[in-house]
Amino acid sequence: MENHAKFKPRKSGAKQFNPHKKSDLMYSSKEWVEYRKIFLEINPLCYSCGISATAVDHVVPHKGNVALFEKLDNHIPLCTRCHNTCTALFDRHAIPKTQEKLVWLQKNRELKDVRIRIKVLSKYK
Ligand SMILES: [Zn+2]
């Protein structure tokens, strides 16, 4: 089995951790936890509405795909509300509605006059 992941899975982790679920392994990895922390430190504001960000969202939902999970330009900082909205409206579909999500994000940014550029962590390149 291939293991090219930058964010290596570990065997145990957070509450309700499901060792049989690939995305649980990915989110609970030491590397992801560290990356997420630093990403939110250098990108502290929600890309969509400009308030304090709490989540690293995958623009294109990874659905367990390691390459999409790790792809640096697939990460945006979102607040809890925007993240929940995007996940519910656009990500949780058999075929994710990524284009609709991008339109929603752009419209919300214009509405809130948000002018944030996402900074990518160079050490992960
Ligand atoms: Zn937001």
Q: Are 36 and 14 in contact (CB under 8 A)?
A: no
Centre of ligand 1 to C-alpha 39, Å, is: 16
pLDDT along the chain (125 residues), means of 10: 57 57 84 95 98 97 92 96 97 95 98 95 74
Residues lying with their CB under 5 A of ligand 1, a single-atom ion: 46, 48-49, 79, 82
End-to-end CA distance of the chain: 24
Q: Where are the domains of the chain?
A: 22-113
Report pLDDT for 2: 46
Residues in CB range of 58: below 8 A, 6 or more apart: 68, 69, 74, 75, 91
